[in-house]
């Protein structure tokens, strides 16, 4: 795409949209103009972009005219309505919602893993689910050196993964709980303060949650391994930022923990922090605000042949959403 670009950010007042503006500014994305759009019902009138404040416009069909690229940080139903309009107006759309991820012909991209898929785009490129992004960053190098036979993952996902209303809910409930006031739940089915909820998104017919199904299907699509056995339990935890995964990978061939550290540490975007005897491993607090996917607690899983356990942590708003979307946008530049 010719630069500089006229860029729109839809959902600019949400936690992902605000982070997108921040990442674009930090990385000096070559934009001639940036327009911020949201529902028109919110009370936020401007959003920060570098040293400037951008006015927030209402997302309408007309607002999408005259743009080369639109980054969508909206929910699936809003994306389903407006992404095709943006594309019909000549823009490329990079969508963070689940709306188009599994559609044939829509690349689902993590640049370090499958950048080439972008060349197949016909207007829409999908950004994967946040937990899936940090998982495939670890699975890809392991697949390349040793082959993957089966993946078992449990997630520990922060409330910012649900959006701005959930961040507020954890803040309010924590305050209420500490002073013995009644706890009011609006976003989650149970209190999230001082609690863990094994239920993210709706429950599918097979008993998995949609979040768990996303991790299974999106991983297979990104890695181009349509039969890969993957099983997941996704849990919301009372943490503001960053998701953690307890990841168990059964490999086709033997890979020692030391070799796994070397392989993973050499992969772009992945960093090893692993000296458990000295309490060195990533945590959600230590990874928040960073761009990397951090891996620690790498050890053998002796319950299977060629098994490895590891602990994988990344900032869901950065690599899990905004940064990944901006990296996709960068792949489209001439
Ligand atoms: N949070 C994460 O870690 C994460 C990671 C990966 C993917 N995602 C996906 O990214 C998308 C955004 O998530 P989020 O966490 O940023 O949610 P959020 O904080 O709730 O923000 C939602 C945004 O959508 C806007 N919006 C709502 N209804 C709209 C409408 N009818 N027309 C135009 N804009 C509308 C909101 O604007 P108002 O302020 O005007 O209401 C707000 O800017 C979702 O699809 C989510 O699944 C999120």
Structural domain count of the chain: 2
Residue 172: give the domain boundaries: 132-316
Query: Do 117 and 151 share a domain, yes or no?
Result: no
Q: What's the confidence (pLDDT) of residue 234?
A: 98
Residues annotated as catalytic are 130, 243
Q: Cα(first)–Cα(last) distance of the chain, in Å?
A: 5
| Cα distances (angstroms) measured from residue 222 to each of 124, 193, 227, 276 | 16, 34, 12, 31
Give 3's pLDDT tier (boundaries 50, 70, 90): confident
CATH number at residue 306: 3.30.360.10
The model's pLDDT over 114-169, given as tens digits with 9 standing for 90+, comes to 999 999 999 999 999 999 999 999 999 999 999 999 999 999 999 999 999 999 99
Q: Whose CA is nearest to atom 17 of ligand 1?
A: 163
Grade residue 334 by pLDDT with cuts at 50, 70 and 90.
confident
Residues 274 and 235 in one domain: yes
pLDDT value of position 163: 98
- 17 is written with which tokens? 């949209």
**CB 197 within 8 Å of CB 190:** yes
**Residue 140: CB atoms within 10 Å:** 19
Nearest to 294 by CA among 271, 311, 274, 277: 271
Neighbouring-strand partners of residue 34 = 7
Q: Which residues pair with 209 in a beta bridge?
A: 203
| Co-location of 16 and 68 in the same domain | yes
241/327 same-domain check: no
Assess whether 279 and 185 both reside in one domain: yes
* pLDDT for 175 beyond 90: yes
**Are 32 and 70 contained in the same domain?**
yes
Question: Is the same domain home to 157 and 224?
Answer: yes
* Per-residue pLDDT at 47 exceeds 90: yes
Structure tokens at 40: 């028109």
Residue nearest to atom 37 of ligand 1 (CA): 38
Residues 145 and 182 in one domain: yes
Residue 317 CA, closest ligand 1 atom number: 3
Mean per-residue pLDDT of the chain: 97
Atom of ligand 1 nearest to the CA of 316: 3
**Residue 249 confidence (pLDDT) above 90:** yes
CA-nearest of 147, 112, 150 to 128 is: 112
CA–centroid distance, residue 99 to ligand 1 (Å): 13
CATH number for the domain including 60? 3.40.50.720
The confidence band for 2, taking pLDDT boundaries of 50, 70 and 90, is: confident
Domain identity same for 108 and 163: no
pLDDT at site 298: 98
Token readout for 210 is 């949609």
Q: pLDDT tens digit string along 80-113?
A: 999 999 999 999 999 999 999 999 999 999 999 9
User: Which tens digit of pLDDT belongs to each residue from 59-86?
Assistant: 999 999 999 999 999 999 999 999 999 9
CB atoms closer than 10 angstroms to residue 207: 7
Which of 292, 270, 295 lies closest to 282, judged by CA?
295
Query: 200 and 94: one domain?
Result: no
The rounded percent of the chain whose pLDDT value lies above 90 is 99
Binning pLDDT at 50, 70 and 90, where does residue 238 land? Answer: very high
Task: Verify that 65 and 119 share a domain, yes or no.
Answer: yes
Q: Which residues contact 106 (CB under 8 A, 6 or more apart)?
A: 100, 121, 124, 125, 126
Q: Residues with Cβ within 6 A of ligand 1?
A: 11-17, 38-39, 41-42, 44, 59, 73-76, 78, 96-97, 130, 160-161, 163-165, 316-317, 320-321
Q: Report percent pLDDT > 70 for the chain.
A: 100
3-state SS, residue 95: strand
Regarding whether 152 and 101 lie in a shared domain, the answer is no
User: 279-313 as b/e, with b when 16 or more CB fall inside 10 Å?
Assistant: eebbbbeebbebbbbbbbbbeebeeeebbbbbbbb
Among residues 252, 271, 226, 237, the alpha carbon closest in space to that of 108 is found at 226
């Amino acid at each position: 795409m010719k630069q500089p670009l006229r860029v729109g950010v839809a959902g600019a007042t949400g936690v992902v949209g605000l982070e997108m503006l921040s990442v674009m500014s930090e990385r000096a994305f070559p934009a001639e103009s940036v327009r911020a759009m949201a529902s028109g019902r919110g009370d936020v009138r401007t959003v920060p972009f570098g040293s400037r404040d951008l006015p927030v416009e209402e997302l309408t069909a007309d607002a999408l005219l005259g743009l080369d690229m639109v980054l969508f940080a909206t929910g699936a139903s809003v994306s389903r309505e407006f992404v095709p309009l943006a594309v019909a107006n000549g823009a490329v759309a990079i969508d963070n919602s689940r709306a188009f991820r599994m559609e044939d012909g829509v690349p689902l991209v993590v640049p370090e893993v499958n950048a080439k898929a972008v060349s197949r785009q016909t207007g829409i490129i999908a950004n994967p689910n946040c937990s899936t992004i940090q998982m495939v960053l670890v699975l890809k190098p392991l697949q390349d050196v040793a082959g993957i036979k089966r993946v078992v993952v449990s997630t520990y996902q922060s409330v910012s993964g649900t959006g701005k209303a959930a961040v507020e809910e954890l803040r309010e409930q924590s305050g209420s709980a500490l002073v013995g006031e009644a706890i009011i739940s609006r976003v989650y089915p149970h209190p999230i303060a001082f609690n863990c909820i094994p239920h993210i998104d709706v429950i599918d017919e097979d008993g998995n949650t949609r979040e768990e199904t996303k991790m299974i299907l999106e991983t297979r699509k990104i890695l181009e391994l349509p039969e890969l056995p993957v099983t997941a339990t996704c849990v919301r935890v009372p943490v503001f930022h960053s998701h953690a995964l307890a990841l168990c990978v059964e490999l086709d061939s033997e890979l020692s923990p030391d070799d796994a550290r070397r392989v993973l540490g050499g992969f772009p975007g992945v960093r090893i922090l692993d000296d458990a005897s000295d309490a060195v491993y990533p945590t959600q607090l230590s990874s928040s605000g960073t761009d990397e996917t951090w891996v620690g607690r790498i050890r053998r899983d002796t319950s299977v042949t060629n098994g490895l356990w590891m602990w994988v942590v990344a900032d869901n708003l950065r690599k899990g959403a905004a940064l990944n979307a901006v990296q996709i946008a960068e792949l489209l530049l001439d």
